[in-house]
Structure 1
């Protein structure tokens, strides 16, 4: 009997951070794996995602191992960590995600993608601080949208909607889904795969198995481990973010903020036009 192979590539979201189980993390991809095929069809799942991974890590570290696994279905969800680095370049991010999707599509694997909320919104940063991060994430999402169309990927739009503001969906760090959020992603991906006409197993359960974190636990995490987590992710970004914030303030004062948005749109168009020509699926 043929085994359905499912691989997941990406960062902490796909690794499962926010959905703890004994011995580590579980997450939406593992939850989804249990419902990818009818009961008589075995599913082999491997999660190559790692916390802190950027698009370059996916290409150099995760892609070779995932290709050797020869998956039938592969999730490629990455880009948020790129936006939190001073080296962010939408041209490079687009080229890397395109390379990963092209490698799997060329081997007949069905690719899954998602666009995600921007970290500034999730952390509740003030507008002038959060807007530069939002602009970067919007650029990544625009690239993912286009590459999903190009490679016939199963794409989940998760960048906005009620789930973003629903605190029960998120863990104490406000950046990763909690168990309920991971289950919601698994359910929504299952629905998108069903729309694609795949023969699937049972829909993943949507209700959590464990109690949700209390507000006091969330505040304690943010005041202790959360501060260190954010510092590790953003230290090299902070000087640049201050410059971007100053630029944001100047444009607001002049009434020319639209120019920043247009600049981002132009950068996305330029990044996509620079990619190798690929026949759309």
Structure 2
């Protein structure tokens, strides 16, 4: 925590940090908002900016959000990006991690405390995504290594089974549900050592969910038709869900009390 002035928190990233899956898609809440609310229990005067924009690749986050973040002179920054890169045909883990490391280096050099997270096994969230598992594992390893080089805090969501529980994910399986966003906020708060946080976010939900047989097959087919198909069409047309969008909270503003 800074001495003598209110904490300034800035969030960088894509749709997950913007908050898709948590409330109104036009102006979602999301885990970064929830983390900012948690920080008010430590510093009621904390200010918070969220520069994340849906659909952004890691290189775009670096190009569009790093300089504005530095200009805000933050004490705390979260940097989460790379999932949009993972699902592109041309994916290079080293390139994605390189963009993240540039942001880690610049932000820590400016005196900010930086936090990031690892990604859960996408093959357990959407079976059709199993071919991407090796990409996730590779990127996670590179995120850990880059974070270690720059003293960046890592919220390790990858090892915990609860993080692939379908109840933590919205219907599109790309974005966390409100419960999922709450767990992510709790994970980052715990990694940062925010007073009052603990490892309760790692606990499994009850009762367990175990879809099987034709019901599971039907769910996969419905998901492919409802979400995967439109995503593929956008890719073929060179479009992004973030086209024409800007950050929902580009300036540092006071945060209301935690709810």
TM-score (norm 2): 0.74
Which residue pairs with 1:226 in the alignment? Answer: 227
Verify the 8 A CA contact 1:52 1:233 in the aligned structure 2: no
Q: Separation in 1 of the partners of 2:115 and 2:6?
A: 19
Residue 81 (structure 2) pairs with residue 78 (structure 1): yes
Alignment of 1:131-146 (within 5 A): 131=131, 133-146=132-145
Q: Separation in 2 of the partners of 1:184 and 1:168?
A: 11
**CA 1:180/1:85 → structure 2, altered by over 3 Å: closer, same or farther?**
same
Which residue pairs with 2:208 in the alignment? Answer: none
CA drift of 1:121 comes to 3.6
1:23-80 Cα offsets, whole Å, 9 max, x none, are 5111001001011244654111111111111111111111111111111111111111
CA drift of 1:96 comes to 1.0
Which residue pairs with 2:38 in the alignment? Answer: 35
What is the Cα-based RMSD across aligned positions, in Å?
3.0
Q: Which has the higher contact order (CA 8 A, sep 6+)?
A: 2
Q: Separation in 1 of the partners of 2:104 and 2:233?
A: 29
- What number of residue pairs does the alignment pair up? 218
CA drift of 1:161 comes to 2.1
- For structure 1, the 5+ residue unaligned runs are 207-214, 237-281
Q: Separation in 2 of the partners of 1:134 and 1:168?
A: 20
1:222-280 Cα offsets, whole Å, 9 max, x none, are 366513443257659xxxxxxxxxxxxxxxxxxxxxxxxxxxxxxxxxxxxxxxxxxxx
1:6-37 Cα offsets, whole Å, 9 max, x none, are 11111111111110148511100100101124
Verify the 8 A CA contact 1:80 1:118 in the aligned structure 2: no
Q: What SS does the aligned partner of 1:155 have?
A: strand
Residue 115 (structure 2) pairs with residue 116 (structure 1): no
- For structure 2, the 5+ residue unaligned runs are 202-214, 238-259
Q: Separation in 1 of the partners of 2:191 and 2:20?
A: 23
Q: Separation in 2 of the partners of 1:64 and 1:228?
A: 35
CA drift of 1:89 comes to 1.6
Which residue pairs with 2:188 in the alignment? Answer: 189
Q: What SS does the aligned partner of 2:104 have?
A: helix
CA drift of 1:219 comes to 8.7
1:182-234 Cα offsets, whole Å, 9 max, x none, are 0011112112212xxx5x4788x98xxxxxxxx9xx99983665134432576
Which residue pairs with 1:272 in the alignment? Answer: none
CA drift of 1:160 comes to 3.9
More helix by share: 1
Verify the 8 A CA contact 2:121 2:164 in the aligned structure 1: no
Q: Which stretch of structure 1 is more off in the superposition, 36-45 or 3-12? A: 36-45
Q: Separation in 1 of the partners of 2:123 and 2:234?
A: 13
Residue 175 (structure 2) pairs with residue 176 (structure 1): yes
Q: What SS does the aligned partner of 1:35 have?
A: helix
TM-score (norm 1): 0.69
Q: Separation in 2 of the partners of 1:202 and 1:94?
A: 28
Q: Separation in 1 of the partners of 2:221 and 2:27?
A: 21
**CA 1:46/1:221 → structure 2, altered by over 3 Å: closer, same or farther?**
farther
